[in-house]
Amino acid sequence: MAYLFKTIRSGLYKPAGTVEIPFLGAKVAEIGQWTLQRRGDFGPDAGLYDLHAAFSFVTDALYDDDEYEKVILLNLNPTQQYRLEQDPDGRTVREGRSLLKEKVTIWSVDRSR
């Protein structure tokens, strides 16, 4: 299946995204801007993206705590939000306020609630 967009960028809507811990009901990071780069059209990487994000703030103690599951939500505009799910083989690299997550799938979130 061929995809229309190779790169998707955050828009002017702020915050551009969040990192949340659902168990605690806590927002542990806010994303100032992000880019999703499609990995390929065919083969095992079809439908997967790499996320490059810059945090506007992050609570290091909670973000770095592996005991809690974190959910990344990206806001494209006021009505479109996407949740990321990382492939088990995906790599995550965080340096300060920069984040790279490889091999993620994006899922639309219903914001009507």
Where are the domains positioned within the chain? 7-109
Tokens representing residue 77 in the block: 């505009």
Asked whether the predicted pLDDT for residue 41 surpasses 90, the reply is: no
Which amino acid makes up residue 58? Answer: V
Give the model's pLDDT for residue 111.
Answer: 66
Long-range contacts of 66-70 (CB under 8 A, 24+ apart): 68/21, 68/23, 68/24, 69/21, 69/22, 69/23, 70/19, 70/20, 70/21, 70/28
Q: Predicted confidence band at 97 (pLDDT cuts at 50, 70, 90)?
A: very high
Per-residue pLDDT tens for 64-92?
A: 999 999 999 999 888 889 999 999 999 99
Q: What average pLDDT does the segment 15-40 reach?
A: 94
- DSSP H helical segments within the chain, as ranges? 60-63
Give the model's pLDDT for residue 103.
Answer: 95
Report the predicted TM-score, pTM, of the whole model to 2 decimal places. 0.86
